[in-house]
Amino acid sequence: MQRMPRPAMVSWFVLAAVAHGQTPQWRMLSAVNPNPFSGSEIAYDHLRDRAIVYGGMTGHLPVSALNEFDGDTWLYPTYGSSAIPPARAGHKLAFDGSRGETLLVGGGVLGPTFFTDTWVWNGSVWVERFPQNPPPPAYADFTLTYDDEREVVVLYSGQALHEWNGIDWLLRTPAQSPPVRRYHSAAYDSRQHRMLVHGGAVGSSFQLTDTWAWDGNVWQQLASSGPFTNYNTQMVFDRERGVGVLVGFGSCHEFDGVTWTAQSAPPSLGMVSWDRQRNRVVMVFGWNGQSTPAPGSTWVYEIPGLAVAQPYGIGCGNPALVAREDPNARPVVGGTLGVDIEQSPTGVAFMCFGWSNDLALGLALPQPMDSWGLPGCWLLQSDDAITLPCATTGATTARFTFALPNSPTFAGLPFFLQPWAPAPGLNPAGVAIGNAIAVTIGSF
């Protein structure tokens, strides 16, 4: 997919400086995961606004349970009569944003048996994929990361790179690579469009504290030293502030692309994912033989009052209509929110407002729009407020701006935006629908 040039990165460094002046906080939510197994894995599905937790162990027995967290409540979906992946631990999950499904690979059972199958969860059923080149057998010591610029899922063993394009696993062989490692941490930097990799073990000893980046073509070393890691250290990327967040036992550090900075530590270490729509770390505790924190407890790491405007979901069209937040025009009280629309067939676009990403006209969201003459398109917000025209800025681009009230009482107010554009001949409705933007008005 062709990408438009990005705004200057200066605003992101300014934002990071402002945000670092605030204090990120860990806090426990009231929601409790009903199945707090040990060794489960987690990923965030931004299309359906769910944190997905799968598998793990009860005692020494692997399980195939799946739980979902919608930001407030834990849910326990049923599979019906569909096939399910074999029970396992030591696996990894990643949300494949271009195909709207959660990818499951790796792991195994005691014996040992290591799996080389590939499964996807689409929110309703599990489906096994049968690539010509299966992924390598891997257990616990690898990472799985979605690259939303190149639309591939990257499996990094610490020695070899494999990338999933929705059909097959392809081995990448760059000319130079970082030192071989295991049990490293990785996250996708959506601002610089690269996978960050930090730390890891050499043999059975955790000796590496360096940080590297993979942009799809070359590796680059970003830092020669940083925080110490262990078997369960995990990393996510804060899309709004533009920092990597590394969470370990009794530690939390943030990486601005150059320097690691220590932050307040969580009470212990659970499974970690990034909640894009609320711009926060979500950490869920499984059973680890301890009563504190309680198994199943759910914690978040966030900066209160931070303005949030983050894309979610999938657009349709050929190429797909895309909405991008403008980092220079964020939803700050009294400011002007800006959203750029790309790949509109005629440069004409309209923006729909909604107060909900859960329900629209009694229908659960996200809602596929195939029956409305819009195959492959999704309704991602309730469209119950107003629809406004965007300003045409080019042959295939437009811009939406919206002045926000200058009153502190509006801080914390969430709403959702989704664009559409005339697209004659694309489908029976002649319309392309874009991805959505989750907005929370902030005080900075």
Span 353-389, pLDDT tens digits: 999 999 998 999 999 999 999 999 999 999 998 999 9
Q: Which two tokens stand for residue 168?
A: 């097959």
Per residue in 86-103, pLDDT (tens digit) is 999 999 999 999 999 999
Torsion of CA 331, 259, 204, 58, to 10 degrees: -20
Q: Got the DSSP string for 108-123? A: EETTTEE---EEEE-S
Phi, psi of 317 (to 5 degrees): 130, 180
Query: Degrees (nearest 5) of the Cα angle 318, 189, 152?
Result: 45
| The model's pTM | 0.93
Lowest mean pLDDT among 186-190, 215-219, 287-291, 383-387: 287-291
Architecture of domain 308-440: Sandwich (2.60)
Structure tokens belonging to residue 317: 């069209």
Q: Across all residues in the chain, what is the average pLDDT? A: 92
pLDDT tens digits for 223-273? Answer: 999 999 988 899 999 999 999 999 999 899 999 999 999 999 999 999 999
Predicted pLDDT at 80 = 67
Q: Which residue has the tokens 């301890």?
A: 290
For the domain made up of 10-302, the CATH class stated in words is mainly beta
- Under a CB-based contact definition with an 8 Å cutoff, are residues 267 and 293 in contact? yes
**Once rounded to an integer, what is the mean pLDDT over residues 273-280?**
97
- The label of the residue with tokens 């359906």 reads 48
- Cross-sheet strand order for the sheet of 260-262: 234-238, 243-248, 251-255, 260-262
Q: pLDDT grade, residue 331 (50/70/90)? A: very high
How far is 191 from 241, CA to CA, in rounded Å?
A: 10
Instruction: Give how far Cα 237 sits from Cα of 91, 243, 250, 275, Å.
Output: 21, 6, 19, 10
Burial class (CB in 10 A: 0-12, 13-18, 19+), 58: middle
Do residues 203 and 218 make contact, with C-beta atoms less than 8 angstroms apart?
A: no
Show me where the domains of the chain are located.
10-302, 308-440
The separation between CA 181 and the C-alpha centre of its own chain, rounded to angstroms, equals 24
Please check the confidence at residue 6 and state whether its pLDDT lies above 50.
no
Residue 57 in contact with residue 64, Cβ under 8 Å? no
* Exposed/middle/buried for residue 433 (C-beta within 10 Å: 0-12, 13-18, 19+): buried
Model confidence at 59, in pLDDT bands (50, 70, 90)? confident
Beta strands 322-325 and 391-392: pairing type? unpaired
